[in-house]
């Protein structure tokens, strides 16, 4: 397989029933598009030397899970060995963002500056604890946690890998 970047859209956490259905925890904002009947995904698992293509045969939701079946995988034995695997899409299959939206992987590595022009460091991680994302910036002041809210994040320039923030009281 070529060196294309792949992005996780779901994780197989268990089986459901005896007919090849799997429980998937979605990690995408586009579950209705990613897990639509007929959609092809790549299944990565430690037991596989190469990822395998799987085509969604059915999809339904149950609690916090996507319940999927794949064409050609119609028994529990056919899918059980892939528990813990990840469903991914290639970079070419990413859904284009609207203006002002971005993928987390586009943020990682961006230089973060204050409104006054002080360089705080690089964005290294995005945490998703609940109400809003928290951006982790590491630099000469140590680790800074910036809430992704309008009062704090003032400008995101993905093309130039530059973020401008307002350092609210108590963030340092």
What strands lie across the sheet with 134-139, from one edge to the other?
142-147, 134-139, 119-127, 111-114, 162-165, 153-157
pLDDT of residue 120: 94
pLDDT of residue 68: 96
In terms of phi and psi (left: phi > 0; alpha: psi -120 to 50; beta: otherwise), the region of 72 is left
Euclidean distance between CA atoms 153 and 169, whole angstroms: 14
Euclidean distance between CA atoms 29 and 40, whole angstroms: 17
pLDDT of residue 28: 85
> Which phi and psi angles does 78 have, rounded to 5°?
-70, -25
For domain 104-165, give the fold. SH3 type barrels. (2.30.30)
pLDDT of residue 4: 66
Q: Which residues contact 90 (CB under 8 A, 6 or more apart)?
A: 4, 5, 6, 7, 42
pLDDT of residue 3: 45
Please name the residue that has the structure tokens 């050609």. 72
Residues 71/55, Cβ–Cβ less than 8 Å = yes
Which residues sit opposite 145 in a β-bridge?
Answer: 136
Q: Select the CATH number that applies to the domain covering 6-93 from these four: 3.40.50.720, 1.10.3720.10, 2.40.30.60, 2.40.160.20.
A: 2.40.30.60
Residues 53/101, Cβ–Cβ less than 8 Å = no
Q: Tens place of pLDDT for every residue, the chain, 172 residues?
A: 444 689 889 999 999 999 999 999 998 878 898 999 999 999 999 999 999 999 999 999 998 899 999 999 999 999 999 999 999 998 778 777 777 778 888 899 999 999 999 999 999 998 888 788 899 999 988 899 999 999 999 999 988 999 999 988 877 7
pTM of the model: 0.71
The residues spanned by each domain of the chain are 6-93, 104-165
């Amino acid at each position: 397989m070529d060196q294309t970047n792949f992005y996780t859209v779901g994780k197989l956490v268990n089986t459901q029933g005896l007919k090849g259905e799997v429980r998937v925890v979605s990690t995408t904002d586009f579950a209705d598009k990613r897990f639509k009947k007929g959609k092809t995904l790549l299944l990565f698992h430690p037991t596989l030397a190469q990822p395998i293509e799987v085509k969604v045969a059915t999809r339904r939701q149950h609690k916090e899970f996507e319940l999927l079946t794949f064409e050609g995988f119609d028994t529990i034995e056919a899918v059980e060995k892939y528990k813990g695997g990840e469903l991914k899409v290639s970079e070419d299959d990413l859904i284009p963002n609207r203006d002002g939206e971005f993928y987390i992987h586009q943020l990682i590595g961006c230089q973060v500056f204050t409104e006054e022009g002080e360089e705080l460091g690089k964005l290294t991680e995005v945490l998703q604890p609940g109400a809003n994302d928290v951006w982790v910036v590491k630099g000469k002041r140590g680790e800074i946690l910036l809430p992704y809210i309008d009062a704090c994040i003032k400008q995101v320039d993905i093309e130039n890998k530059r973020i401008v923030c307002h350092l609210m009281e108590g963030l340092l």
